[in-house]
Amino acid sequence: MEKTTKILLGHGSGGRLTHNFIQSTLLKKFDNPILSELADSAVIDYQEKIAFTTDSFVVSPLFFPGGDIGKLAVTGTINDLVMLGALPEYISLALIIEEGLEISILEKIIDSISSYAKAAAVKVVTGDTKVVEKLAADKLFINTSGIGRLLTSRKLSVKNISCQDKIIITGNIAEHGFSVLAKRKELDLKLNIKSDCASLNGLILPLLEKTTGIKFMRDPTRGGIATTLNEIAEASNLGIFIDEKNIPVSKKIKAVSELLGIDSLYVANEGKALLVVVPEEADKVIRLLRRHPLGKNAEIIGTVVKKPAGRVILRTVFNTERILDMLTSEPLPRIC
Amino acid sequence: MEKTTKILLGHGSGGRLTHNFIQSTLLKKFDNPILSELADSAVIDYQEKIAFTTDSFVVSPLFFPGGDIGKLAVTGTINDLVMLGALPEYISLALIIEEGLEISILEKIIDSISSYAKAAAVKVVTGDTKVVEKLAADKLFINTSGIGRLLTSRKLSVKNISCQDKIIITGNIAEHGFSVLAKRKELDLKLNIKSDCASLNGLILPLLEKTTGIKFMRDPTRGGIATTLNEIAEASNLGIFIDEKNIPVSKKIKAVSELLGIDSLYVANEGKALLVVVPEEADKVIRLLRRHPLGKNAEIIGTVVKKPAGRVILRTVFNTERILDMLTSEPLPRIC
């Protein structure tokens, strides 16, 4: 791909360009062991270990089936903390608002933030409000940063992953991305796809008490499971073998994916986690996950292998094998 | 003022509308004792107390004499932590980038963030990058959230303030706002006003070891010292009497203020602090401040009084007295 001097939408895709930008620009400048973990949250060693995370949300439209930008922000930040094995406790809320936005819309979104924060026992403890003139931003952008208390003394880290570990997805994929896309194309009533946007604290945190077999977790948001699996493969320098027929996906999503020609493996999830689990515990983890409504479709979808190091291999439903690459450009901008 | 159903620029002014929006919408929804302190950072009681803060930056233009959006973000977040008596340690960095931005511009800004973070021994430990399509945002918005370790067991709180306490400003006012405005109007070369944008950790934190007389601190950013003084008066339910002739302001700023008809008291500072100090310690604090380059123009500018409760009274340079009100609308949008 040609080198670009301008920021492309792909730089925000969560895929290859984002990855390169982070590696070549951000990590070089801000090199420190906490950031270079490139986990969803930073873990900060006070006397008690805490996790710290940030995310901006620029989703368009602001409301979509199954959620809105406010729910997305709170649950997204909660999930980033949960992925580190932290109990989410405090979040910040920073609003960048376009002049002229209806206050009733803002209030609806804030209600949503409030109710999902309360449901997860998370407190909004600091905030900031900026308003920019008309056309200088698109309606509303939200940043939520979060702090959580680390629950587990075992460090969840991509460095713990080894061959034969199992890859688990906690449920059906691609529902968030397609729900936003359907809304945007005004196909939402026809397609009736709801975003999976949800807080994962209730599903994941109890699990960590019942098994020590989980080595690493990440929520496959922008770029979908394909991108997250590639990140895990690269960071662990191991291969990942995925069996497509085991990936849980609803019939509706399959149909939309074919209709629109967009591969579900690259489409954002907002209420799912990928877990890397020791092989002996994988079945137990699946059993535990399926007891919870958010985990009822959990499946083992793959295995960590030695080679090809840093790559993801997909055995397709047609029984062929191919490399599953990271996303390069952005098929679905502003999905979160 | 007529009630509005739309977001106005004034909602982001840091003045009355912002205040009302926070009170009527945000505080109602997210009511908790940490947030309702409405301090610049949240203080979170882990085993060791930490402070937590967030700010988004939407300044236009991205570069101005004395700084840029990156320097502004880092120093602004550092200062919010310092105002609570916390040693800034960790920040997050979330970028919302307009598609098409020159990467070289972004790199310059990231260099700036990196160097000011390093200078203050602050680590960027987590981040997020979003790109939106052309015209959906104006070039670049930055959110930085920060965590610091509380250095002082004495709690700095507006609730400690009492009558006779002295109000101190650490230096010349209004330089940030006028520098951005001059750049925007392409008067920058002619007026040659540099933003005061600076990290206050080196000025303020050593001070807290040398005196126990400081009761409260706040950096008078958006809305200027007039707005911050009003916030202090309201929150403490005491009056504040300010003597205009003691307010340090450069000749250049005085001239520009008259030229443009904008009152310096409402113009943003980005490297200044307002301190509320017990009367016995005020002279000592001034002496200590003046030893540091960032505090060389520090002055006692006023006194806390019993009445009128919640209001700020200004004795003008013409020896008349008037109520100094909070900002209602936004004279200078996107100053930070």
Identify which of A53, A74, A82 has the alpha carbon closest to the alpha carbon of residue B92.
A53
C-beta atoms of A131 and B6 within 8 A: no
Count residue pairs from A and B with Cβ separation < 8 A: 280
Residue where a domain terminates, one of A131, A150, A169:
A150
Question: The domain that contains A218 carries what CATH number?
Answer: 3.90.650.10
Percent of chain B with pLDDT over 70: 88
Question: The domain that contains A77 carries what CATH number?
Answer: 3.30.1330.10
State the best of B80, B143, B151, B184 to mutate against chain A, taking most chain A CBs within 10 Å.
B143
C-beta atoms of B104 and A5 within 8 A: yes
A151 CB-contact burial (10 Å; exposed 0-12 / middle 13-18 / buried 19+): middle
C-beta atoms of A48 and B47 within 8 A: yes
User: Is B259 within a domain?
Assistant: yes
Residue where a domain terminates, one of B108, B134, B150:
B150
Residues 3-62 of B with CB under 8 A from A: 4-13, 18, 21-22, 25-26, 29-30, 32, 34-35, 41-42, 44, 46-48, 50, 52-58, 60
Closest residue in A to B336 (Cα–Cα)? A130
C-beta atoms of A145 and B54 within 8 A: yes
Q: What is the per-residue pLDDT across B233-256, written as a single tens digit (0 to 9) for each? A: 988 999 999 999 999 999 999 999
Q: What's the full length of chain A, in residues?
A: 336
Q: Which two tokens stand for residue B182?
A: 């001059």
**Does B131 contact chain A (CB < 8 Å)?**
yes
Which helix (DSSP H) or strand (DSSP E) does residue A189 occupy?
Answer: helix A188-191
**Does B106 contact chain A (CB < 8 Å)?**
yes
Q: What is the pLDDT of residue A329?
A: 66
pTM for the model stands at 0.90
End-to-end CA distance of chain B: 26
Same domain, A178 and A306: yes
Which helix (DSSP H) or strand (DSSP E) does residue B125 occupy?
Answer: strand B123-132
Q: What is the pLDDT of residue A152?
A: 76
User: Is B1 within a domain?
Assistant: no
DSSP-derived letter for residue B193 is P
- C-alpha B298/C-alpha B50 separation (Å) is 28
Same domain, A62 and A91: yes
Neighbours of A41 (CB within 10 A): 31
Of B7, B99, B113, the CB nearest to A7: B99
- C-alpha A155/C-alpha B239 separation (Å) is 52
A157 CB-contact burial (10 Å; exposed 0-12 / middle 13-18 / buried 19+): middle
C-beta atoms of B131 and A56 within 8 A: no
Which helix (DSSP H) or strand (DSSP E) does residue A94 occupy?
Answer: strand A86-98
Q: Which residues from A are below 8 Å from B70, CB to CB?
A: none
Same domain, B196 and B276: yes
Return the C-alpha torsion angle B251, B252, B253, B256, nearest 10: 120
Same domain, A299 and A164: yes
Residue B257: strand, helix, or coil: helix
Which of A45-49, A145-149, B36-40, B289-293 is the least confident region? Answer: B36-40
Residue where a domain terminates, one of A150, A184, A211:
A150
C-beta atoms of A50 and B55 within 8 A: no
Same domain, A173 and A314: yes
- C-alpha A135/C-alpha A322 separation (Å) is 44
Predicted ipTM of the assembly: 0.89
User: Is A334 within a domain?
Assistant: no
Q: Radius of gyration over alpha carbons of chain A, in Å?
A: 19
Q: Which two tokens stand for residue A195?
A: 């975003």
Q: What is the pLDDT of residue A1?
A: 47
Residues 62-81 of A with CB under 8 A from B: none
C-beta atoms of A35 and B127 within 8 A: yes
CA distance B227 to chain A (A): 15
Q: What is the pLDDT of residue B241?
A: 98
CA distance B288 to chain A (A): 31
User: Is B329 within a domain?
Assistant: no
Strand partners, B95: B129, B142
Q: Which residues from A are below 8 Å from B268, CB to CB?
A: none
C-beta atoms of B47 and A46 within 8 A: yes
Q: What is the pLDDT of residue B183?
A: 92
Q: Which position has the token pair 């079945």?
A: A283
User: Is A336 within a domain?
Assistant: no
Closest residue in A to B333 (Cα–Cα)? A132
Provide mean pLDDT across the span B293-309. 97
Residue A267: strand, helix, or coil: coil
**Does A121 contact chain B (CB < 8 Å)?**
no
Q: Which residues from A are below 8 Å from B8, CB to CB?
A: 99, 131
DSSP line for A103-131: HHHHHHHHHHHHHHHHHTT-EEEEEEEEE
Q: Which residues from B are below 8 Å from A30, CB to CB?
A: 93, 113-114, 117, 123-124, 127
User: Is A328 within a domain?
Assistant: no
C-beta atoms of B147 and A41 within 8 A: no
Same domain, B177 and B312: yes
Q: What is the pLDDT of residue A185?
A: 85
C-beta atoms of B52 and A90 within 8 A: yes
Residues 6+ apart with CB under 8 A from A41: A51, A52, A53, A80, A81, A83, A84, A86, A146, A148, B126
Q: What is the per-residue pLDDT across B196-224, written as a single tens digit (0 to 9) for each? A: 999 999 999 999 999 999 999 999 998 89
User: Is B332 within a domain?
Assistant: no
CA distance B164 to chain A (A): 30
Instruction: Give yes or no for a contact between A112 and B30, defined as CB atoms under 8 angstroms apart.
Output: no
Parent domain of B76: 9-150
Neighbours of A58 (CB within 10 A): 27
**Largest separation between any pair of C-alpha atoms in chain B:** 57
**Does A283 contact chain B (CB < 8 Å)?**
no
Which helix (DSSP H) or strand (DSSP E) does residue B141 occupy?
Answer: strand B140-150
User: Is A331 within a domain?
Assistant: no
Q: Which two tokens stand for residue A55?
A: 């995310």
Number of domains in chain B: 2
Neighbours of B102 (CB within 10 A): 12
State the best of A109, A128, A184 to mutate against chain B, taking most chain B CBs within 10 Å.
A128
CA distance B325 to chain A (A): 21
Of A22, A101, A149, the CB nearest to B129: A22
Q: What is the per-residue pLDDT across B119-136, written as a single tens digit (0 to 9) for each? A: 999 988 888 888 898 999
C-beta atoms of A124 and B32 within 8 A: yes
**Does B92 contact chain A (CB < 8 Å)?**
yes
A292 CB-contact burial (10 Å; exposed 0-12 / middle 13-18 / buried 19+): middle
Closest residue in A to B131 (Cα–Cα)? A12
Q: What is the pLDDT of residue B333?
A: 80
Give yes or no for residue B307 having a pLDDT over 90.
yes
End-to-end CA distance of chain A: 26
Closest residue in A to B96 (Cα–Cα)? A56
Give yes or no for residue B39 having a pLDDT over 60.
no
C-beta atoms of A125 and B35 within 8 A: yes
Closest residue in A to B38 (Cα–Cα)? A126
Where residue A164 falls (left for φ over 0; alpha for ψ -120 to 50; beta otherwise) is left
**CA count, 13 A, side-chain hemisphere, A80:** 29
Q: How confident is the model at residue B88 (pLDDT cuts 50, 70, 90)?
A: very high
Same domain, A206 and A317: yes
C-beta atoms of B35 and A143 within 8 A: no
Mean pLDDT of residues grouped by 10 in chain A (336 residues)?
A: 69 67 69 62 68 93 96 96 91 90 88 92 86 92 93 83 98 96 84 94 96 94 91 92 98 92 94 98 98 98 96 95 82 82
Distances in whole angstroms, Cα of residue B254 to Cα of each of B221, B232, B332 = 18, 25, 17
Closest residue in A to B36 (Cα–Cα)? A125
The one-letter amino acid code at B83 reads M
- C-alpha A42/C-alpha A53 separation (Å) is 6
Same domain, B184 and B202: yes
Residue B102: strand, helix, or coil: strand
DSSP line for A131-178: EE-TTSBSSEEEEEEEEEEE--SSPP-GGG--TT-EEEE-S--SHHHH
Same domain, B19 and B71: yes
More confident: B120 or B100:
B120
Same domain, A309 and A164: yes
**CA count, 13 A, side-chain hemisphere, A23:** 10
Of B50, B90, B103, the CB nearest to A7: B103
Of B47, B94, B100, the CB nearest to A143: B94
Same domain, B28 and B167: no
Of B54, B89, B129, the CB nearest to A18: B129
Same domain, A31 and A47: yes
